[in-house]
Amino acid sequence: MPSFPAPIYVCGATASGKTAHALRLAEEHDGEIVNADAFQLFRRIEIISAAPSEQEKSLFPHHLFGVLEPGEHCDAGRYCEMVAPVISELQARGKTPIIVGGSGLYLKFLTHGPSPLPKGDEVLRTKLDARTTEDLLEELETLDPVEAAQVNRGNKRYVSRSLEICLLTGGKVSELRDGWELKTRELDQNLTGYWLVREREELHRRIALRTHQMLDEGAIEEVEKLDGIGGNWEKAIGVKEIRRYLGGEISRDECEELIVFATRQYAKRQETWFRRERWLQRMEL
pLDDT of residue 8: 98
Instruction: Give the CATH number of the domain where residue 169 resides.
Output: 1.10.20
- The reported pLDDT for the residue numbered 23 is 97
Which pLDDT score, from 0 to 100, does residue 179 have?
A: 83
Residue-by-residue pLDDT tens, the chain, 285 positions: 557 899 999 999 999 999 999 999 999 999 999 999 999 999 999 999 999 999 999 999 999 999 999 999 999 999 999 999 999 999 999 999 999 999 999 999 999 988 778 888 888 889 988 999 999 989 998 998 898 888 888 888 888 988 888 898 888 888 888 887 888 889 899 999 999 999 999 999 999 999 999 999 999 999 999 988 888 899 999 999 999 999 999 999 999 999 999 999 999 999 999 999 999 999 998
What is the pLDDT, as a whole number, of residue 2?
Answer: 59
The answer as to whether 1 is a domain residue is no
Same domain, 38 and 77: yes
Structural domain count, the chain: 2
Q: 272 in a domain, yes or no?
A: yes
Do 98 and 131 lie in a common domain? no
Residues in Cβ contact with 63 at an 8 Å cutoff, skipping those fewer than 6 apart? 32, 33, 34, 35, 86, 90
Q: Could you tell me the maximum CA-CA distance found in the chain, to the nearest angstrom?
A: 63
Question: Which among 157, 178, 199 is the end of a domain?
Answer: 178
Do residues 139 and 103 share a domain? no
Q: How many C-alpha atoms does 178 have within 13 Å on its Cβ side?
A: 8
For residue 121, what pLDDT is reported? 82
CA dist 212 and 192 (Å) reads 34
Q: Tell me the residue ranges of DSSP E strands in 62-123.
A: 62-63, 96-100
In three-state secondary structure terms, 180 is helix
CATH of the domain at 111: 3.40.50.300
Q: Which residues span the domain enclosing 157?
A: 122-178
The whole-number pLDDT of residue 245 equals 97
Q: What is the reported pLDDT for 13? A: 96
